[in-house]
Chains A and B, each alone.
Chain A
Amino acid sequence: DAGITQSPRYKITETGRQVTLMCHQTWSHSYMFWYRQDLGHGLRLIYYSAAADITDKGEVPDGYVVSRSKTENFPLTLESATRSQTSVYFCASSEDSGRGETQYFGPGTRLLVL
């Protein structure tokens, strides 16, 4: 089924390990986003990308790295995981059709850092 998918859906890791969360969309949307969701904070933007090879920081980028070599993929890497990065991570995408465009969200990845 077409859409936006994330993998893995659940991940347990240890402090200091590198973790990569995958995001794939089949719509050829220009924009892709990574958010983290924490109780009491809503969703906070980590990084976003306007097109392949174009990325920019969001509100909370520290400790994260992104890349976008292909339009359909937007992986998020935690270079050295910390307990404060325990969260639910959502990937989203949107068309480049103006400022009122809708963002479409993936199902999320629940990450636990021990």
Chain B
Amino acid sequence: AQSVTQLGSHVSVSEGALVLLRCNYSSSVPPYLFWYVQYPNQGLQLLLKYTSAATLVKGINGFEAEFKKSETSFHLTKPSAHMSDAAEYFCAVRPYSSASKIIFGSGTRLSIRP
């Protein structure tokens, strides 16, 4: 079965520091991959997605993620954290065989220290 693993349920970085949120997927065929962000008391919104085009994907708010097939990873990065980046981040995978279902990771809460 397809799955996605987010390493670290909570990550804390200083304002201005590099943000790195880790995501690994299990799939025999490269799937479609997504990062969603959830701000407090809100629904999820798409940050970026990989759909088998460029392996380095740029998203909103300065985030980007790199698809590495050899490592089955899709880590999310941002060069310089802002206080407004504090939120919960979800990695998600849509298996190639699925026309509709997305499988979400358990989420990583990002905290930003002043």
Tell me how many residue pairs across A and B have CB atoms closer than 8 Å.
57
In the assembled complex, A80 has its CB within 8 A of some CB on chain B: no
Partner of A42, one of B41, B45, B49, B104: B104
B90 touches A99 (CB 8 A): no
How many angstroms from the CA of A92 to the CA of B33 in the assembled complex? 17
Dominant secondary structure at the B interface: loop
B32 lies within 8 A of A48 (CB): no
Contact between B49 and A102, CB atoms less than 8 A apart: yes
Complex-state Cα separation, A50 to B99, whole angstroms: 10
Given known contacts A43-B90, A90-B43, A108-B43, A100 and B49 CB-to-CB distance under 8 angstroms: yes
Q: Which of B49, B100, B105 has the most CB of A within 10 A?
A: B100
Q: Which residues of A contact B96 (CB under 8 A)?
A: 99
Of residues 23 to 44 in B, which have CB atoms within 8 Å of A's CB atoms? 32, 34, 36, 41-44
Give the size category of A's interface with B: 20 to 34
Residues of B whose CB lies within 8 Å of any CB of A are 9, 32, 34, 36, 41-46, 49, 51, 90, 94, 96, 98-102, 104-107
User: 23 A-B Cβ contacts within 8 A?
Assistant: A4-B43, A33-B100, A41-B106, A42-B90, A42-B105, A43-B44, A44-B104, A45-B101, A50-B99, A58-B101, A94-B100, A99-B99, A100-B32, A100-B49, A102-B34, A102-B46, A103-B102, A104-B46, A105-B43, A105-B45, A106-B43, A107-B43, A108-B41
